[in-house]
Structure 1
Amino acid sequence: MAKKGYEKKYWVGVDLGGTKLLGIVFDKDFESQGQERIKTKAQGGKQAGVERMIALIRAAMEKANLKPEQLLGIGVGCPGPLALDTGVILEMPNLGWKNTPVREGLEKAFNCPVAVLNDVDAGIYGEWRFGAAMDARCAIGVFPGTGIGGGCVYQGDVILGKNGSCMEIGHIPVVENGPLCGCGQRGCLEAVASRLAISAAVAVAAYRGEAPHLLSAAGTDLSNIRSALLAASIKAGDTAVEKIVRDAARRIGWACAGVVNLLAPDIIVLGGGLVEALPKLFQQEVEKAARDRVMPAYRESFRVVPAKLGDDATALGAAAWAGHVLRRSVRK
């Protein structure tokens, strides 16, 4: 219970990314009240990661001039497969964490309900509630970043698998005997089309002298090749970089075609920093590739659009999902 003098009426949404942690405090209308952003520092291990989330939430609450006792609940969007009944991240290949007890750690720290869901599930739920996919019957989210995540909202609920999250579109095999993926398989979509894969390919192009603008701006260090730099490089005329990015977007479109054939969505929302930096390129390439590969009956049945909520989508969606889950549990 809240301490005397404090009314519980705020939510926190957390976006656990491969490189950054973002925490945002929202009021009952899901208007932002304050936020904090820190580096994930995955090398510290899973327990240190949970402790960083706790510190992040406390800092965001302080910026909003609020006390933890005023929290209604916390939503956390995480990459990788999850055990939703326990709030455990089963595996995060790009961070090296396994069996991470997120819900348990946060509930102990803040004494309020915690809902954990896949980060792209959170992102597409946010877009369905507040952004590009509002009121769609079936909305698919595809968010290329460090990896490539997928999610689906169907008639107002996130589609889940038997034991937890699903829609791992980044691990659809698209290249036979292709590059090794973080999951241990070869030829997965994210092994050839994520920002990390794109950065590796353009670094090679820069080394060969095929991307002079990118080489002068960042060299060949992968840590310097970010989404904004890729966009600037293309704008400056690095045609090799543009080809690499378009090829990656086309492969994402092929994977989306399979999802369309299975689920017949109204809309596919493309999100994440890479799409935010190059929205027109990704929208055009993904849509064309998807339409070319779907069954004729579905060719004109869906739209492909960039996300509207930007960097806040996952945190906002996670907070809103926590509210949805809490209301549903009260009704039961």
Structure 2
Amino acid sequence: MLRPDIIWLFSICLILTGCLEKEIVDDINIESVEGFDLIGENEVMGTFVVPVYKADQTIVNETFTSISKLNKDILRNAQKESSAPIVNGSLELVLFNKAMAEKGVIHLVDGLQRDASIGTGLYLAIVEGETREILKQNLGTRGIGDHLFNLLKHNIDRRDVPKTNMHIFLSDFYQKGKDPNLPILMKTEDSAEIVGVAVMKEDKYEMTIPNERLFYFKTLVDKHSEGTLSLKVDGEDEYISVKSIKSKRKFKVKWNGDTPSIKVIIKVDGVVREYTGNKVTPKKIEEFQKLIEEKIISESDSMIKEFKERGVDPIGFGYEAKSRKRGFDFKKWKNETYPTLKVEVEAEVRIISTGITE
């Protein structure tokens, strides 16, 4: 005979099991990417992409669009176009057009983070032009959502785009003393490409870091694991390409009363893969190291100056300062200290191998 407590526990399990909403994969539309475009002053057009798997193993994209003022209303309205429920449990990427980003995206991101079916590893990105135009393309062998997701992942893991996802964006947004950044995509004639990174002021687009400066931006805000840098050798018609770059950064904050100064130490290790000149000698390696150090410092100084002028802090100087000071006055920091903050960038570059150029 079963004990009463076991019978009670068994009954609760049956009741809870009956409360779960069951969804059969063949009876639902699982979206992979969403796009939001600002229409007029207050309305937002949402585009939802569902990959459709054909019998011949090809994949086509089915898109649904709707217009509303709230994120959840947009998806709810799009359901009226779909023959099956649209669910976002496999959502990999959310796009915002630049007009939307200039107005602010936190109200849409807040709706995403409150959905328990969406993971915080979700990628966010800004689009030059309309997100709808990118999402109408039929790219990749596994659908547009997977294609764009892997485009971003590849450039974050192995190239110059700083690491980002919804969790990092929200952390930077709510963290006093640091502003978020998001990659920027643009539609090309037959594909899509990354054209830079947007620096946000809180949740609003403020400025663009173009592709040619992304290497240096990433050394300041993140770290390289397999970076690449190509430079012209000063005074000569020669070029070097340094690959397999690993970088790390360190902050030193020094206080003089209530006035801080910050030193950023950037360490870079890399391998010379190509050199258009003659044989790479130890003297040449020293020249390459000095050239890269000077370039990192000059580009970093230039960007930091612009960040202070625009009142944005993607590097997190405010966070570094307040974490080392009791009674930190963030209002004073933002209005008085940061615009005149003394920042010194120090670079240490090591060429650890000359690879195929030897």
Taking structure 1 as the reference length, what is the TM-score of the superposition?
A: 0.33
Which structure is richer in relative contact order (CA contacts within 8 A, separation 6 or more)? Answer: 1
Larger radius of gyration: 2
Taking structure 2 as the reference length, what is the TM-score of the superposition?
A: 0.31
